[in-house]
Homo-oligomer: A and B are copies of this chain.
Amino acid sequence: MIPPDHPRYRSLVARERIARYAGEGVVTFEGLAAHGRGEAFDYLIGERTTESALLAEKTAAALLLCARRPVISVNGNTAALAADEVARLQERARARVEVNLFHRSEERIRRITRLLEEAGVAVEKGEAERLLPLSHDRALCLRQGIYSADTVLVPLEDGDRCSALCSMGKTVIAIDLNPLSRTARAASLTIVDELTRALPHVTGACTSLSQEEALRLCSSYDNRKFLSGALEEIQKRLTHALD
């Protein structure tokens, strides 16, 4: 329906997917609003992968390759937008995938698991336990999944959850379009890029990075630089916006 040569094709397709999956109970109302917030920031960075984000994506690949036990945490929006991309990254990064939801229900977990499995993702299963330093059901995760991970990739994560994972000593890689969000600031490494652009770059770098490069990236990154890189990009665009 949306013509592929529309200048905002990818953004409109993503919006359509998110709305469709909201109708199926995969994406929540809160998830729809969160997607809108992301769209606004994506608009401000120019709806493209900036140089700074590309370096963050390579660094994310390096962290996943160097991890002993990498886990990808998938929520409703991530599954709706990027089930295929998660499958490809899982394979290259030899990562476990756990469905972990902010608005958690067994029914949603089942739906999202099915969606991921249809895309070829191997999804961790089992009895979730309250293992994260958060209140109520926010604490739930799988012992053999997120709990045992040394490195967790959290696309589109909530700030409290991101901080809780960091406080457990894990290396947390966030994908978040808002460079000022609590998640973006709390994470060990933040990729300020749109999910379906970011994941293929991470997957690609998992193949192309040499072990030497990977080790160098892991030992020398500074998340603040990635955040200020994104902010500078936004500032640059705003300066000429009304010309």
Chain B nearest Cβ from A95, distance in angstroms: 29
Docked complex: A221-243 residues within 8 A CB-CB of B: 224, 227-228, 231, 234-235, 238-239, 241-242
Is A134 in contact with chain B by the CB < 8 A criterion? Answer: no
Measured between alpha carbons, how far is A235 from B239 in the docked complex, in Å? Answer: 8
Is A48 in contact with chain B by the CB < 8 A criterion? Answer: no
Docked complex: A185-243 residues within 8 A CB-CB of B: 224, 227-228, 231, 234-235, 238-239, 241-242
Docked complex: A128-151 residues within 8 A CB-CB of B: none
A40-B36 CB under 8 A given contacts A231-B241, A234-B238, A241-B231: yes
Report whether over half of chain A's contact residues are helix, strand or loop; otherwise say mixed.
helix
Number of copies of this kind of chain in the complex: 2
Q: Which residue on chain B has the smallest CB distance to residue A180? A: B241
Kindly list chain B residues whose C-beta atoms are within 8 Å of the C-beta of A2: none
Kindly list chain B residues whose C-beta atoms are within 8 Å of the C-beta of A39: 33, 36-37, 40
Kindly list chain B residues whose C-beta atoms are within 8 Å of the C-beta of A180: 43, 241-242
Is A32 in contact with chain B by the CB < 8 A criterion? Answer: yes
Is A60 in contact with chain B by the CB < 8 A criterion? Answer: no
CB < 8 Å neighbour of A32 from B36, B43, B224 = B36
User: Scoring A residues 72 to 85 as 1 if CB is less than 8 Å from chain B, else 0, what string do you get?
Assistant: 00000000000000
Kindly list chain B residues whose C-beta atoms are within 8 Å of the C-beta of A43: 178, 180
CB–CB B239/A227 < 8 A: no
Is A34 in contact with chain B by the CB < 8 A criterion? Answer: yes
Kindly list chain B residues whose C-beta atoms are within 8 Å of the C-beta of A231: 238, 241-242
CB < 8 Å neighbour of A33 from B19, B228, B235 = B19
Kindly list chain B residues whose C-beta atoms are within 8 Å of the C-beta of A30: 15, 19
Kindly list chain B residues whose C-beta atoms are within 8 Å of the C-beta of A179: 241
Measured between alpha carbons, how far is A212 from B48 in the docked complex, in Å? Answer: 49
Docked complex: A1-56 residues within 8 A CB-CB of B: 15, 18-19, 22-23, 29-30, 32-41, 43
- Interface of A toward B, CB cutoff 8 Å: 15, 18-19, 22-23, 29-30, 32-41, 43, 178-180, 224, 227-228, 231, 234-235, 238-239, 241-242
